[in-house]
Every structure is written in structure tokens, then in C-alpha cells.
Structure 1
Amino acid sequence: MLGDQQRRKLLLGQRGPHAQSLLDLMQKLLDSFDLDNVRSILIRILVELSKRSGLYPQRLLLPNIKIRGDQVDGGTFGDVWKGDFDGRLVAVKKMRVFGSRDVQALMKAYSKEAVLWAQLSNPYVLPFCGVCCMNEPSPRVCLVSPWMDNGNLVQYLQDNPKADRLQLMQDIALGLEYLHSFSLPVIHGDLKGLNVLITSSPRACIADFGLSIIAEDSNIHFTVTATSNAQGSTPWMAPELFDHINPERRRKSRASDVYAFGCVGYEIYAGRPPFSEFPPMMAFMRNLQLLRPASTELDDAIWEIIEKCRDTNPASRPNMSDVVQQLLSHPDTRG
């Protein structure tokens, strides 16, 4: 079935109990067996079926999540609450529903995010605990992850002006390198300071996979549902994603993630988002250049990395493995 296009199409067309059985089977195979030769295609089909059906493997369902107090944070698509699970403090991200028409689309988006995130395991990627379901007043899928007392990168740097910025940048680079070199390469699609969390160590880990996509793979051919590539956070988005003349260039890629990483590097040393002094679209309409932050910790080598990552030509940007190598060889790296 995995090797035949027509049978894959039939598999991806399943809904309800049939889709649930297939999702459970594929997740069990991924959990239990060495599947190096078919692992990438199995994950791709698992994520796509989850997205189309709005379901997820039952193994990911967490029982007895208890919500603590009031909402503590919120974003475009979801609100974050503190919760308790199995004696641990967790973050519970509830999808935000504005009307009955949103429910089905959001269920599908959250199911896809959960399934993709569940396959990842790396010290520099936020761990995924599972999903839980809330039924007040309508059914909502919630994503559960460990609670991070240090908050996101932006908050942490505000509270800790003497933080080791180079180490944080290295951590983020290592996390992004892992995503890009995963058995089925993952493009984050919305990397920014607010989507990087800080552990108790304190080390940085990449979070929020709501806009992530699976990279194109010439060895795996089948029709997938359309993904909007226009979504994202404007100041961190690569210039090619705004190309209205050539729509093919607007597809998110490893290179657009590298550009976003350069913008996060700027955030780390400038203490503010790129182009924060201008209206969101002006930087691209006027082709403005970022000015080097006046930080004593930002030396020529790191600034050169940031500028190379933010090259307007995607083909001229380095890959994340090269970026990691350059950052880890920096003389200020701590052992």
C-alpha cells in the first residue's frame, strides 16, 4: 500500500473509524519497529491522514488532565493554560474557536500539529506530552507539553539581561538543524522569539508547530491537501514569501527557515523584533536593511552569520548544519 500511488490515495480517503484504525496502526508501527527504509513515507502519510480526517492516534490521548486557574497566555489560534498531569506541571494549549464553522478546520489543523510534533525528539525541540480533549462548552483538542517557568525567549531576555546569548542562539540552531535533517525533513514555518521556550537549565527549545510543513521529497509522490504558504509572522518571513509575480517562490522551505533564524539572532542581540520601528510591510516594500545592534556581545563573526542567513537570495543562505558548525566553533562557546 505504501508503494502504490492508487492504494495510498485510497488510504488517505478514509474517514471515521477506518481512518482511526489506520492512524493507530501506523503510529504503533512507528513506535515499535525499526522502519528506516519506509519511516519517512509512513510519517508523511500518518500526518496527511490525520490532517484530512481531523483524527489522531489514540496513543497520544492523555487522561485526567487537570486545568489550574485562569488562562496564562494566548496566541493567534490558541490559548495556553497551566495544568497537572501525572504529578507534573504542563502547558495545555486550547484551540480558539470563533464560530461553529471553525471547529472542523481547527480540529484538523490541531490533529496534524499533534501527529507531526509527536514524531520529534530532540533536546532543542519542546517535548510533546500528548493531547487531551475538553468539552466545555464544545469539544476542543488541546496540545500538552511540559511547563516552562522561564517562558519564551523574549520574556527570558527581558528578565535576564546577562543571559548567555551565544548559547541560546546555538541551541536554536541545533533544534532547527534537527528539524531540517529529520528522517522526514520538517520546515518550522513560523520561527520567532515568541516560539522559542527556555528550559530550567536554561537552554532554548523550539516550540509551536502549528504552521510547520513537511519538506518536499522527490522520492515520495502523492497528492496532498493544499497548504497556505502565506501564513506566518511578517518581520521574520523571507522576502521570497511575498513574491506575487512568481507564486512558486512563495513556498516555505529550509531556506525561509534559515532567514527566520537570522531574524531570531537579531532579536537575541537587539532585544527587539526586526524592523520593529517600521510598519510590518514597509521593510519589504522599501527593501530596508537591518542596522547592526549596539550590543557588546555581538561580534563580527556572529553578525556575519546573521547577515548571511538573512540574504535576500534563498540560494545564497547557508544550511543549518553549516550555521551550527560556525556557532559551535565560536571562541566564546562555553564547555
Structure 2
Amino acid sequence: MLTAIQAASTAIGVVEVAGQAAGIPFAAGLATEIVRSCEDVAKYKRRAKTLGDKGTFLVNSLTEESHGLEGTDMQARMDEVVGVLERTLKRTRRWSSYSTLTRWLRRADIERGIDQCQAELDSAIQVFTLRSQISLQRAQMDTRALELQNQAENRELLLRLLADSEEMKRVVALHRAGEPVAEEIMQRGQEGLRELRQLQTRASPESTLITEVRSSSPTPMSPPRSPPPARSKLASQQYLEMQRGLINLHRITALLPPEKKLDGEVVKLDDIPVAGGTYSDVWLGRWLNEEKVALKGLRNVKADDVTAQKVWLEYQSLNTALTLRQRFVREIQVWAKLKNKHILSFYGIVTDQGRHMHMVSPWLENGNVLDYTRQNPGADRMLLIRGAAEGLRYLHSQSIIHGNIKCTNILVSASGDTCISDFGMSKVIEDVTEMLASATLTESGSARWLAPEVIDGASPTKEADTYSFAMAILELLTGQHPFPERKRDAAVIRAVIDHVQPQRPTNKSVQQWLTDELWVLMQKCWSRAITSRPTMELVAAELENMKKERDMLHTVGDSCMISMD
């Protein structure tokens, strides 16, 4: 530890090398002299030494702040410090010159003098520290103001770009050519929306202008408020324009939001879920105040628990050793990277819409394949089956196991393509709840689709998915759950464990689609020997071959009819 004299000497050296701010070397010299004088005040050496220490602290603090502050109020601060140090030095020199007897006789005066010097130095330190903090805060505010100005200019430029139809045509052309311009615009637009929400909150904490832009749902009655500031109105106007521009970009490019945390961009339209599945409930929502979306809330993952609070940080960076929470986040990462028209798209997550953390995906008006075929009796069942097979094949190619394949998890897009949903959730829920997937699935009524080994306690596998897919084919063609003759799930579970296969339907409406070739393929999928079940790649290929053969027969038949004519 340096002595007070050494510390003061160091301060002088720093000043001589680093700065030429007027008065600092002189102040450092005063501090050194105070220390030396205090060394001679024998009876009060320890108390007096603190005066030198505080003087040295003042000089060192002023030295640190002197760099780059020439021409500011540094000289005024220096004058104050020098004045305090001069008074302190004058007193300590006087005390050090006293004889031993004089010190004894004036010991009370010396004690009061030391206390006074201590108080003056403490006051100078407090004032100096306060002013330093004010200066630092002012500098931070200036930096923040420049940052906000830069953000505002970028938003204005982005709004002009989004509103210019000719420029947007160029953006679309670049997007189709593989350039990431549209992605950058979408991401910057999402950041702009977040900035505008923050700006509006700072401008008027009680204002609901942006909230009203984000949601058309009725809001509770509240007392009249004073008119919001002009900046808040401008932020709300820009927010609405930004939303419109981004939703237009999404529609002309089919681009999904690059920023996956959608808090503030998505609102839930009702507190009552419109559907429910094995692990989740689904609500209707709206993204960017325009597009309908599905908000799927996992019952075992709440928005106010540790999972939701840390999910975004872990979404961006995962450790090697996965916790239960990280396992869920990893599934979100995997889903976000999937690109296939037979896989339900992933928009992002929201944590500000109620108790649950929600995963956001497109709202498909056609519903699942059973809903779709009921509303469209003439729909091509084999087209739907091939699309679902392709989706499941793609998942398996990405090393993803669905775990709960059935018709309620096979949706139909506006273009009539089947889309697989809810994939990978069985394993996630198994990790989160620490319960076997088989227990959760059988309790929730999925036993009719499950492979025997899963019902028996094994984790879902690709082979088990193949088994369940054949059950889903049967469900789609018949419009009934598998094993309809067994009314209770307990009876179904016993039959499946005993490797009882479903009976082939005989009604004509099913036979139109259920050919011998398809039935044989389904029986292979239900094979008792797990390794004998075909992969989904083989299933998808076989279904495609059936289509080609059927098309060929139709072509030959049409040719024969033409020849007869």
C-alpha cells in the first residue's frame, strides 16, 4: 500500500505526463506538502494524515477528469480545490511548527482545526463528485439524444422506402435474386416499431395511442386524460405507417419476421381459446394489426416463470449442457429454421399476452384435414395424404420426431397444402413435466394413434411416427378415430399392446381412396417389428408411385375412350 506521500508524488507524475490542465500540478504539490506537514504533527499524526489522503484523492480525481475537458468548467473546479488545499496546508504548517509544549497547550484548537479541515475536504469531495456525476449524466444524455436523432432519421428513411411502390418493386426483385435486402428492411422495421413504442411510453406513460393502433379490441373505460404531447401523436402515426409497410412487405415476399420476439407486435383478440390440443391451447390473434395469427400457449410454460423470462437470451445463445428450459428453447430454434411448404411456419414468440408464453404461427382458415374434408367433400384425399407424408419426411430428414401424429395436427393452408403442426412437443413436455410422453399422450386421448412401444413407455421415435401416420391416413379416409368399435381408450390400449391392427373399412366412400396398394402400405407401417416399418422417405415415395400409376391408368383409359369414339 502506498503511503500518503508516495500517493501524492504519483499524482504529480501523472499530471506532468498526462495533462496540462491549468493548476493541477500546483494542486498536487499542495497535497504533497500537506502530507509532509502532517508527518510533523506527532500527536495527531494518524488523524492529520487523513487530510493528506483526502487532498491526494481530490487531485487524482481531478486529474482523471481533466483528459479531453480543456476549455470546460474544469478551471472553476480547480480553483475550488486549490482554495481548500491552501487553507488546509496553511493550518498543517502552523501546527507542525509548534513546539511540543505549544502543541500540548493548543491541543483542543488543533483537534478543532483538524475537524474543520476534514469537513472542508469532505465537502469539496462531495461537490466534486456531484458535479462529476452531473457532467457524466449530461454527456450520456447528449449521446442518447444523438442516438435517438439517428434512429428517427433512419425510421423516416425506412418509411419513405416502404411507401415508395417503385422502390419496393426493386426490393422484391432483389429478394427473388437471393439478396437479403428485404430481410434487412423487415428486421429494421421491427426494431423501428420497438423504438416507437419506447418513445411513446416516454412521451406519455398513460397514453394508449399505440395500444389502440395495435388492437381494435374494446378497452376498459378510464377517466379523461389531457391531450398527449405532439411527439406521442407523431410516434403513433409513424407506428401505423410502419405496420402497414411491413405487412405489405410480408405479403409481397412471403417473408417471415426475422426478429422472433414479437412482444408488442401481436395482440390476442379474445381471452377464450378457440381450440385446444394435447399440450396447448390456441387463441386467435393479429400480427401488425393486419394478419390473423394463431397463438399457441403451452400449458406447462408460463409467461411469468423463469422459462419465459430467460427464453429470449437462451434463444440467442445456448450452452452445451441443456436444461429443461433450454430444451424448449432449442425446439423453438429448430422450428424457426425449418423451410417446407408442408410444415407450419413459425413467426415467433410473445410473452406479454397473458399467463402463457405463446408461439405464433399463421392462422389457417381451413383448419385441420378433417375440418377441410367435411367442408369440401370432393377434396382429393390422396393429395392431402401425400402432402402430410412429405411434411413428416422432411421433419425426419431434419432429425425431428413428431411424437403425436394425427389429423388434428395436420392443417390445410389457403392453397390447399397440408401442413404438419405441433411437432417435437411430446419430447419437450416430457422434459418439462418429467413425465413419460406415453403417460401424457394416453391421458389426453391419443392412445388410438400411438405405436405399441410408446404406449408401453418408450419415447417416441421415427418408427413410431410412421405407425401413427398410417393411423392418421385411416382417420382421414373414414372420418372416424382409429378403432371406432372400441368405445373406451382402455380397450384400445389393450388391443394395441396385443398388436391388434385396425380392420379394413368396407364402405364405398372409403374404398374410393383406400386401394389395395395403400392398405398394404398401411399394414407395413403397423408392423409389429419396429425395424420392419418403412421410413417416411419410403412411404412418401410409395405414395408418389401410386399417384403416377393412377395417372397412367387414367391416361390409358382416356385413350381407349377416344379410340372407341
TM-score (norm 1): 0.69
Q: CA deviation at 1:78?
A: 2.3
The answer as to whether partners of 1:93 and 1:143 remain within 8 angstroms in 2 is yes
Larger CA Rg, structure 1 vs 2: 2
Matched, 1:85 2:287: yes
1:16-50 deviations in whole A, cap 9, x for unaligned?
Answer: xxxxxxxxxxxxxxxx9xxxxxxxxxxxxxxxxxx
Q: CA deviation at 1:310?
A: 1.2
Q: Which has the higher contact order (CA 8 A, sep 6+)?
A: 1
Same amino acid, percent of matched pairs: 33
1:206-232 deviations in whole A, cap 9, x for unaligned?
Answer: 001352559xxxxxxxxxx97734243
Matched, 1:95 2:301: no
SS in 2 for 1:166: helix
Paired position in structure 2 for 1:243? 456
1:30-41 aligned at under 5 Å gives the runs none
Q: Quick one: which of 54, 70, 75 aligns to 2:277?
A: 75
1:67-97 deviations in whole A, cap 9, x for unaligned?
Answer: 2234321224322111111332111112336
Alpha-carbon RMSD across the aligned residues, in angstroms, is 3.0
The aligned amino acid for 2:373 is: L
Residues 1:161 and 1:99: Cα distance change in structure 2 (over 3 Å): same
The aligned amino acid for 1:161 is: P
Higher share of residues assigned strand:
1
The answer as to whether partners of 1:154 and 1:194 remain within 8 angstroms in 2 is yes
The answer as to whether partners of 1:148 and 1:199 remain within 8 angstroms in 2 is yes
Residues 1:95 and 1:134: Cα distance change in structure 2 (over 3 Å): farther
Residues 1:239 and 1:97: Cα distance change in structure 2 (over 3 Å): closer
1:236-279 deviations in whole A, cap 9, x for unaligned?
Answer: 110112336xxxxx132110000011111111111111113312
Distance in structure 1 (CA, Å) of the matches to 2:381 and 2:518: 11
Matched, 1:281 2:490: yes
Q: Quick one: which of 344, 347, 356 aligns to 1:129?
A: 347
Q: Quick one: which of 244, 267, 276 aligns to 1:66?
A: 267
Distance in structure 2 (CA, Å) of the matches to 1:148 and 1:190: 20
Residues 1:258 and 1:97: Cα distance change in structure 2 (over 3 Å): closer
Q: CA deviation at 1:113?
A: 3.9
1:166-217 deviations in whole A, cap 9, x for unaligned?
Answer: 01110111011101111xx011111111011101111111001352559xxx
Paired position in structure 2 for 1:14? none
SS in 2 for 1:209: coil
The answer as to whether partners of 1:124 and 1:171 remain within 8 angstroms in 2 is yes
Paired position in structure 1 for 2:477? 269
Distance in structure 2 (CA, Å) of the matches to 1:123 and 1:78: 23
1:141-152 aligned at under 5 Å gives the runs 141-152=357-368
The answer as to whether partners of 2:302 and 2:357 remain within 8 angstroms in 1 is no
Gaps of 5+ in 1: 1-31, 33-57, 215-224, 245-249
Matched, 1:290 2:505: no
Distance in structure 1 (CA, Å) of the matches to 2:542 and 2:302: 48
Paired position in structure 2 for 1:165? 381
The answer as to whether partners of 2:267 and 2:353 remain within 8 angstroms in 1 is no
Higher share of residues assigned helix:
2
Distance in structure 1 (CA, Å) of the matches to 2:462 and 2:489: 23
Residues 1:104 and 1:153: Cα distance change in structure 2 (over 3 Å): farther
Q: Quick one: which of 525, 533, 539 aligns to 1:317?
A: 533
SS in 2 for 1:96: strand
The answer as to whether partners of 2:447 and 2:455 remain within 8 angstroms in 1 is no
Distance in structure 2 (CA, Å) of the matches to 1:316 and 1:240: 14
1:293-304 aligned at under 5 Å gives the runs 293=505, 294=507, 295=510, 296-304=512-520
Gaps of 5+ in 2: 1-179, 181-257, 312-324, 555-565
Distance in structure 1 (CA, Å) of the matches to 2:300 and 2:537: 39
Distance in structure 1 (CA, Å) of the matches to 2:343 and 2:291: 19
TM-score (norm 2): 0.42
Aligned length: 259
Residues 1:228 and 1:60: Cα distance change in structure 2 (over 3 Å): farther
1:276-333 deviations in whole A, cap 9, x for unaligned?
Answer: 3312132342333311123122111111111111112111110111111110111336
Of stretches 281-290 and 229-238 in structure 1, the one that deviates more from structure 2 is 281-290
